Amino acid sequence: MKKINGVAKVMLGLLFFVGTVSASNTDSEAAKAAQALIKAYGFQCNTVTMFSRSAWDGSFRVMCDRRYTYRLKDVGGNWRVEVL
């Protein structure tokens, strides 16, 4: 649990002001932090191929390896990863 909490703190700092990251710059620090959080939850993510922030609820949608799609959401100060 400490690993996830540490990654969550990094996510909060890096993702707070992020909008949309295009496929050409998915190697940004925010995309790397998202990838680390996804892996910390035990899911596969070798390469971030899409990364965007929802205008609705502030969650993030991340596609990894052109196959897996995840939603990252801050719930009460704790980051949650959901498979879509």
Classify the C-alpha dihedral 20-26-27-33 as positive or negative. Answer: positive
Q: Is the pLDDT of residue 1 over 60?
A: no
pLDDT tens digits along 50-72: 988 888 888 889 999 999 999 99
Mean pLDDT, to the nearest integer, of 41-53? 91
Q: How far is CA 74 from CA 16, 25, 35, 46, 57, in A?
A: 10, 23, 15, 23, 10
- Cβ of 14: how many Cβ atoms within 10 Å? 16
Mean pLDDT, to the nearest integer, of 16-45? 73
What is the per-residue burial (b if ≥16 Cβ within 10 Å, else e) of 30-57? bbebbbbbbbbbebebeebbbbebeeee
> What is the pTM assigned to this prediction?
0.69
